[in-house]
């Protein structure tokens, strides 16, 4: 049995990047031999094992063939006869299809090293088209390595375009798609992920609601960049620049979906886009089964982001409603994430990236004022049930009035 390092670990070492997790491939072994060496099997479908000590993944060299639609439509064949070259050819990109033995001897039959030097993301073989997830993976790698100068090879982009038109993308499971989407959003340049998906027509299939924002104008006075799609990409870029968590980045991507529904005769204004967008945000959320915290924040940011921008002009009663909608008393962190998303939205405008956003501190102060109301004194006064609720609300409103007057 021969064991090689493969995939990301080889690629990133050659790029001089830190290697976090190592994938291994095992040639010339059977499942029984692996088990006898103490490897633990994982996954029902794949011949993949965990190392008894390091816990790293060891996969038996395998070939695969597409036998039907979607990921279920794959048959795998692993046996001691499968060669390293046969295993590598089924991989997505040439730069991911290199292997290295324990002497750091490189096996590179598909010229991954050449493409690393040329800064090209290129598919290994026509078999690329057999798994539509690779469209998302390439877009994710483009986002990750754009800073190093990588681009998608024209012939690979063409293949991605054909895949997007074929209807195969629709067969992806929400779980597989979300894994790629969420990882891509956490890259330093997540907007490149969306740009590449758009360039190959995949965005129109995966998130038509986001795709529809390109070509939709906004008022130049508020949005010098004018285009709503361009704005959305800038907001996402700002979110990454400011190291925001996934929840905020997801909310940033979806916050303006309602603008895609505005009738052309109303352009460049977008009356009530916050409300109109909610059903679209919900649809995208559910399509990818996004985690609950991502879903919630996207809906709240969609509905209230313009409230955030107008924070200093809001009446105390509107401010109170806003805080109640966020349940800021029990969920202070979620309100912080809302504020962050609003700030990224404001910064994601051409030429206004550095402008200060006093709304952020103002909203924080308002939350603190409303949260400072103690319940105990009201209980002592004899309030209970719904009356207690009303009394708390009155006190909070009073606190917010004082806050606004002193601000």
Query: Binding site residues, as ranges?
Result: 8, 11, 21, 23, 91, 137, 140
Q: Does residue 173 contact residue 136 with C-beta atoms inside 8 Å?
A: no
**Closer to ligand ATP at the Cβ: 23 or 227?**
23
Annotated binding site for Mg(2+): 21, 23
Q: Near ligand ATP by CB under 6 A, which window of 72-80, 126-134, 204-212, 298-306? A: 126-134
CA distance 347 to 69: 43
Considering CB distances under 5 to 8 angstroms, the limit depending on partner class, which of ligand ATP, Mg ion, none binds residue 133? ligand ATP
Distance in Å, CB of 177 to Mg ion, minimum:
18
Return the range that interacts with ligand ATP (CB under 6 A); candidates 107-115, 130-138, 226-234, 336-344: 130-138
* Shortest distance, position 124 Cβ to ligand ATP, whole Å: 8
Q: Given the rule CB under 6 A, which of 92-100, 185-193, 211-219, 260-268 is the region that contacts ligand ATP?
A: 92-100
272: how many CB neighbours lie within 10 A of its CB? 11
Task: Closer to ligand ATP by CB, 116 or 369: give it.
Answer: 116
Complex with ligand ATP: residue 129 or 261, whichever CB lies closer: 129
Pairing label, strands 23-27, 48-50: unpaired
131 binds ligand ATP (CB under 6 A): yes
Tell whether residue 98 is a contact of Mg ion (CB under 5 A).
Answer: no
What is the distance between the alpha carbons of residues 25 and 62, in angstroms, rounded to a whole number? 9
Q: Tell me which residue has its CB nearest to Mg ion.
A: 8
In the complex, the smallest distance separating the C-beta of residue 96 from Mg ion, rounded to whole angstroms, is: 9
Polymer length in residues for the chain: 407
SS3 label, residue 25: strand
In Å, what is the CA distance from 198 to each residue of 24, 118, 182, 195, 354?
A: 33, 23, 17, 5, 28
Residue 59's φ and ψ, nearest 5 degrees, are: -110, 140
Residue 386 buriedness (CB in 10 A; 0-12 / 13-18 / 19+): exposed
Q: Which is nearer to ligand ATP, 139 or 320 (CB)?
A: 139
Determine if 8 is a binding residue for Mg ion (CB under 5 A): yes
Q: How many residues bind ligand ATP (CB under 6 A)?
A: 11
- Give the residue ranges of the annotated binding site for CTP: 8, 11, 91, 137, 140
Give Cβ neighbours of residue 232 (< 8 Å, ≥ 6 apart).
Answer: 194, 210, 213, 252, 253, 255, 256, 348
Closest approach of Cβ 91 to ligand ATP, in Å? 4
Q: How far is the CB of 174 from ligand ATP (least distance, A)?
A: 16
Closest CA to 285 of 210, 339, 228, 214: 210
Question: What's the rounded Cα separation, in Å, for the pair 306 and 359?
Answer: 11
CA 341, distance to chain mean position in Å, is: 14
- Options 105-113, 115-123, 128-136, 329-337: segment touching ligand ATP (CB under 6 A): 128-136
Q: Which of 4, 5, 7, 132 binds ligand ATP (CB under 6 A)?
A: 7
Per CB under 6 A, which region of 133-141, 208-216, 219-227, 362-370 contacts ligand ATP?
Answer: 133-141
Percent of residues in the chain assigned helix, strand, coil, to nearest 5: 55, 10, 30
Summarize as ranges the residues that interact with ligand ATP (CB under 6 A). 7-8, 23, 91-92, 96-97, 131, 133-134, 137
């Amino acid at each position: 049995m021969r064991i090689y390092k493969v995939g990301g670990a080889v690629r990133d070492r050659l790029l001089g990047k830190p290697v976090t997790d190592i994938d291994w491939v095992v040639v010339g072994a059977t499942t029984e031999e692996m088990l006898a060496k103490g490897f633990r099997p994982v996954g029902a479908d794949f011949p993949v094992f965990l190392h008894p000590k390091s816990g790293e993944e060891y996969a038996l060299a395998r070939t695969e063939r597409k036998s039907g639609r979607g990921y279920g439509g794959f048959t795998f064949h692993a046996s001691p006869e499968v060669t390293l070259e046969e295993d590598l050819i089924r991989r997505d990109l040439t730069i991911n299809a290199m292997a290295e033995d324990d002497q750091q001897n490189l096996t590179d039959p598909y010229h991954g090293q050449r493409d690393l030097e040329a800064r090209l993301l290129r598919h290994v073989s026509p078999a690329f088209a057999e798994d539509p997830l690779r469209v998302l993976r390439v877009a994710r790698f483009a986002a990750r390595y754009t800073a190093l100068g990588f681009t998608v090879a024209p012939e690979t982009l063409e293949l991605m375009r054909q895949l997007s038109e074929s209807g195969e993308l629709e067969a992806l499971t929400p779980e597989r798609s979300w894994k790629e989407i969420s990882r891509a959003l956490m890259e330093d340049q997540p907007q490149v992920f969306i740009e590449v998906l758009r360039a190959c027509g995949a965005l129109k299939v995966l998130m038509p609601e986001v795709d529809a924002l390109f070509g939709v104008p906004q008022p130049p006075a508020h949005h010098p960049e004018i285009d709503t799609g361009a704005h959305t990409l800038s907001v996402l870029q700002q979110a990454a620049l400011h190291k925001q968590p996934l929840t905020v980045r997801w909310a940033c991507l979806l916050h303006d979906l309602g603008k895609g529904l505005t009738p052309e005769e109303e352009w460049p204004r977008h009356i009530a886009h916050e409300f109109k967008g909610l059903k679209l945000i919900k649809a995208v959320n559910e399509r990818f089964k996004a985690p609950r915290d991502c879903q919630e924040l996207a809906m709240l940011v969609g509905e209230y982001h313009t409230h955030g921008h107008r924070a200093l002009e809001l009446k105390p009663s509107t401010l109170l409603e806003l805080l109640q909608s966020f349940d800021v008393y029990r969920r202070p962190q979620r309100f912080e994430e809302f504020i962050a998303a609003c700030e990224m939205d404001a910064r994601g405008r051409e030429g206004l990236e550095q402008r200060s956003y006093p709304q952020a501190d103002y909203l924080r102060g308002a939350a603190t004022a409303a949260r400072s109301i103690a319940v105990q004194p009201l209980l002592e006064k004899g309030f209970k049930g719904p009356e207690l609720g009303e009394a708390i609300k009155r006190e909070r409103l009073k606190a917010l009035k004082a806050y606004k007057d002193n601000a």
